[in-house]
A and B are shown apart, each in its own frame.
Chain A
Amino acid sequence: MRLRGLMRKEFLQIVRDPSSISIAFVMPVFLLLLFGYGVSLDAEEVPIAVVMEAFGGEAVSFAAEFRHSRYFDAREYVDMREAVTALRAREVDGIIRMQADFAERIGSPGPAPIQLILNGVDANTAELVSGYVQGSWLNWLQHRAEQAGQQLDIPVEVEQRIWFNPEVRSRNFLVPGLVAIIMTLIGALLTALVMAREWERGTMEALLVTPVSMTEILLGKLIPYFILGTGGMLLSVAMAVWLFEVPLRGSFGVLFAAASLFLLVALGMGLLISITARTQFVAGQVAILTTFLPAFILSGFIFDINSMPWFIEGLTYAIAARYFVAILQSVFLAGDIWSVIVPNALALMGMAVLFLGLSRSRSRKRLE
Chain B
Amino acid sequence: MTSARAVPAVRFSEVHKSFAARGKETKALNGVSFAAESGSVTGLVGPDGAGKTTLMRLAAGLLAPDRGEIHVLEMNATGDALAVQAALGYMPQRFGLYEDLTVQENLDLYADLQGVPADQREGSYRELMRMTGLGEFTARLAGRLSGGMKQKLGLACTLVRSPRALILDEPTVGVDPVSRRELWAIIDRLVRDEGLTVLLSTAYLDEAERCSRVVLLHEGEVLGEGSPDSFSSQLRGRTYRLQSGEPGRQVQSRLQGRAEVTDVVVAGGQVRLVLESGSDPRGLREEGVFQPVPPRFEDSFVALLRERRGAPSLPDMQQHTIEVRGDDAVITVRDLTRRFGDFYAVKGLSFSVHRGEVFGLLGANGAGKSTTFRMLCGLLPPSGGTLRVAGVDLRHAAAEARARIGYMSQKFSLYGILSVEQNLDFFARSYGLRRKRRDERIRWALEQFELEALRGSSSDDLSLGHKQRLAMACALMHEPDILFLDEPTSGVDPLARREFWLRINALAEANVTVMVTTHFMEEAEYCDRLAIMAAGEILELGTPDEIKGSVAPQGREPSLEEAFIALIEHQDTER
A is bound by B: yes
- Smallest distance from the beta carbon of B152 to chain A beta carbons, Å? 15
A206 and chain B: residue at smallest CB distance? B96
User: Does any Cβ of B come within 8 Å of A16's Cβ?
Assistant: yes
Contact of B62 among A1, A4, A208 (CB under 8 A): A208
Nearest chain A CB to B27 CB, angstrom units: 15
Most-contacted residue by chain B among A203, A209, A212 (CB, 10 A): A209
Number of interface residues of B (CB under 8 A): 34
Q: How far is the CA of A97 from the CA of B459 in the complex (A)?
A: 71
Number of A residues near B (Cβ < 8 Å) is 27
Asked whether any CB of chain B lies closer than 8 Å to the CB of A253, the reply is: no
Shortest distance between the CB of B88 and any CB in chain A (Å): 6
Chain A residues with CB below 8 A from B100, complex form: 12-13, 16-17
- At the interface, yes or no: A6 with Cβ under 8 Å from chain B? yes
State which residues 157-181 of A face B: CB under 8 Å: none
Expressed in whole angstroms, the Cα–Cα distance for A16 and B100 within the complex equals 6
- Which of B60, B109, B141 sits near A209, CB closer than 8 Å? B60
Q: Is the CB of A211 within 8 A of B113?
A: yes
Residues of B within 8 A of A210 (CB): 85, 110, 113-114
Once bound together, how far apart are the Cα atoms of A209 and B114, in whole Å? Answer: 10
Q: State in angstroms the CA–CA spacing of A325 and B105 once bound together.
A: 40
B113→A12 contact, CB < 8 A: no
Cross-chain contact B62 with A209 (CB below 8 angstroms): yes
Q: Find A13's partner among B63, B64, B98, B112 (CB 8 Å cutoff).
A: B98
User: Does A9 contact B105, Cβ atoms closer than 8 Å?
Assistant: yes
| Bound Cα distance A207, B113 (Å) | 8
User: Residue B246 at the A interface, CB < 8 A?
Assistant: no
- Establish whether residues A209 and B61, one from each chain, have CB atoms under 8 Å apart when the complex forms: yes
Q: Are B97 and A2 in contact, CB atoms less than 8 angstroms apart? A: no
Interface membership of A205, Cβ < 8 A: yes
- Find out whether the CB atom of B92 lies under 8 angstroms from the CB atom of A206: yes
Decide: B105 and A12 in contact? CB cutoff 8 A.
yes
For the complex, what is the distance from the CA of A2 to the CA of B86, rounded to whole Å? 13
The smallest beta-carbon distance between B51 and chain A, in angstroms, is 14
Q: Which of B521-561 contact A (CB under 8 A)?
A: none
Per-residue interface assignment for chain B, residues 143 to 168, with 1 indicating a CB less than 8 Å from any chain A CB and 0 otherwise:
00000000000000100000000000
Interface residues in A162-220 by Cβ distance below 8 A to B read 201-203, 205-213
Closest to B112 in A: A5
- Chain B residue with the shortest CB-CB distance to A3: B112
Given the complex, which residues of B lie within 8 Å of A12, measured CB to CB? 100-101, 105
The answer to whether A9 and B96 have CB atoms under 8 Å apart is: no
A1 to B121 alpha-carbon distance, docked (Å): 14
Is B97's CB under 8 angstroms from A203's CB? yes
Closest to B117 in A: A1
Q: Quick check: A365 and B81 within 8 Å, CB to CB?
A: yes
B99 within 8 A of A: yes
A201 touches B94 (CB 8 A): yes
B60's nearest neighbour on chain A, judged by CB, is A209
For A16, what are the chain B residues with a Cβ–Cβ distance below 8 Å?
100-101, 141
Residues of A within 8 A of B92 (CB): 202, 205-206
Considering the complex, give the chain A residue whose CB is closest to the CB of B83. A211
Which residues of chain A from 1 to 25 have any CB-CB distance to chain B below 8 Å in the complex?
A: 1-2, 4-6, 8-9, 12-13, 16-17
Say yes or no: A4 contacts B112, CB within 8 Å.
Answer: yes
Interface string of A6-50 (1 = CB under 8 A from B): 101100110011000000000000000000000000000000000
- Name the CB-closest residue of A to B157: A206
Closest residue of B by beta carbon distance from A365: B81
Query: How far apart sit A6 and B105, CA to CA, in the bound complex (Å)?
Result: 11
Partner of B96 from A2, A8, A205 at Cβ < 8 Å = A205
Q: Which A residues fall within an 8 A CB radius of B? A: 1-2, 4-6, 8-9, 12-13, 16-17, 201-203, 205-213, 365-368
Q: A210-B110, A211-B86 are in contact. List 18 more A-B contacts (CB 8 A).
A: A1-B112, A1-B115, A5-B109, A6-B109, A9-B98, A12-B100, A13-B101, A202-B92, A202-B95, A203-B96, A203-B97, A206-B97, A208-B85, A209-B61, A209-B62, A209-B90, A211-B85, A367-B57
Residues of B that sit less than 8 Å from A by CB: 57, 60-64, 81-82, 85-86, 88, 90-101, 105, 108-115, 141, 157
